[in-house]
Amino acid sequence: MKIIIAGAGAMGSRFGLMLHQAKNDVILIDGWQEHIDTIKEYGLQANFNGEEVTEMIPIYHQSDISSVEFSADLVILFTKAMQLDGMMQSIKNMVGEKTKVLCLLNGIGHEDVIKKYVPLSNILLGNTMWTAGLEGPGKAKLFGNGSIDLQNLGNEGKESADEVIAVLNDAKLNAKYSDNILSSIYKKACVNGTMNGLCTILDSNMADFGETDVADVIVESIVSEFAQVAEKENATLDIDAVLAQIKSCYNRETIGLHHPSMYQDLMINNRLTEIDFINGAIVRKGEVYGIETPYCSFLTQLVHAKEQIMKAK
Ligand code: NAD
């Protein structure tokens, strides 16, 4: 299959590498010049479950693709949420009538951006449990296992996604069709909407936050705001299951000593966060539906203030 990875950071590198190794015709499109130059010169390098691998995969800057001739069967979007519209604008001429576009970004409401450029019948919305990191430009760190749930946004149903699922599974990416992708997106967004912003603002790992006296009341309030908005979008949330998943993040024996990805982005790498597409999306949707969202609103403001104090880019 001819596949564009649009946004070739940590996750785009994982998917690009695994799909390339499964003999698909893959190209990467990105906006980070140093990363692009490194991959052009040395190939995409990765520590892949402890093994050093290098694959030569074509990569292009998103502002310089007008001469690239590549009629893609599939585009996989892996920008940060705030980069999505710019990327869609850059690649819109490479998205043909039959090109499927799969969005696996964290956060809520990305379909509103994508459908400006792609018919609903070609949009696949998904949720992934794969993880990835970057050690520096051109070098990914890919450990562990994961999975993908995805759903077609039009009325075409499962058959319209069969070919894409088969290609992902051929690359051992463990994909399956979901009849209710919005619920799993909201469930994951609840974990991100609590752990990410709170641990970033409190400069805390997940275990230390979870053991504070106020952890339960703050987390339950945020999840309640997510659940009220989700219900309006026909995405039912099992609140007990969501709270159990969040509390499992506090476990010191497993992942509790880790800092979530937003902490890494802002506090370690001085980068802007995806808060507007997690808690901020709940605030915007809450305004539309007449739902009060004071906790999500305050947390979004605090994270933006921290970004400004740190002069994040
Ligand atoms: P990423 O930050 O690694 O890459 C996103 C974009 O930012 C890429 O275009 C990349 O080149 C660019 N970028 C990365 N580091 C940069 C730097 N130092 N300077 C300039 N540009 C830089 O993001 P990601 O982790 O691949 O995440 C993509 C999407 O997938 C996000 O929505 C994220 O929330 C989601 N996601 C990530 C993970 C994970 O484990 N990383 C897991 C599931 C979902």
Residue 291 alpha carbon to ligand 1 centre in Å:
31
Q: For residue 260, give Cα distances in angstroms to 103, 264, 272, 296.
A: 21, 7, 14, 17
The neighbouring-strand residues paired with 33 are none
The arrangement of strands across the sheet holding 2-6 comes to: 59-61, 25-30, 2-6, 74-77, 100-103, 123-128, 148-152, 175-177
For residue 101, give the CATH number of its domain.
3.40.50.720
pLDDT of residue 254: 95
Same domain, 154 and 26: yes
The rounded average pLDDT for each run of 10 residues, N- to C-terminus, in the chain (313 residues) is: 98 98 98 98 98 98 95 97 98 96 98 97 97 97 97 90 97 97 97 98 98 98 98 95 98 97 96 98 98 98 98 97
Task: Enumerate residues 6+ apart whose C-beta is below 8 A from 287.
Answer: none
List, in order, residues 6 or more apart from 63 with CB less than 8 Å away.
31, 90
Q: What is the number of structural domains in the chain? A: 2
Please indicate, yes or no, whether residues 33 and 94 belong to a single structural domain of this protein: yes
- Which residue, by CA, sits nearest to atom 43 of ligand 1? 131
- Residue 276 CB less than 6 A away from ligand 1: no
Range of the domain at 200: 181-309
Distance from the alpha carbon of residue 133 to the mean position of ligand 1, in angstroms: 8
Boundary residue ending a domain (158, 177, 196) = 177
Q: Using the atom order of ligand 1, give the atom closest to the CA of residue 129.
A: 43
Write down which residue in 133, 158, 177 finishes a domain.
177
The CB of 35 under 6 Å from ligand 1? The reply is yes
Enter the ipTM: 0.99
* Judgement on whether residues 123 and 187 belong to the same structural domain of the protein: no
Which residue minimizes the CA distance to atom 29 of ligand 1?
Answer: 105
pLDDT at position 279 is 98
- For the Cβ of 127 lying below 6 angstroms from any atom of ligand 1, the answer is no
Q: Report CA 169 to chain centroid distance, whole Å.
A: 19
pLDDT at 203: 97
Q: What per-residue confidence (pLDDT) applies to 156? A: 85
CA dist., res. 279 & res. 190, Å (int): 9
The structure tokens listed for 103 are 């969005």
Q: From the CB of 274, is ligand 1 less than 6 Å away?
A: yes
- Which pLDDT does position 268 carry in this prediction? 96
Is the separation of the CB atoms in 303 and 201 below 8 Å? yes
Q: Is 50 exposed, middle or buried (0-12, 13-18, 19+ CB in 10 A)?
A: exposed
Catalytic residues: 188
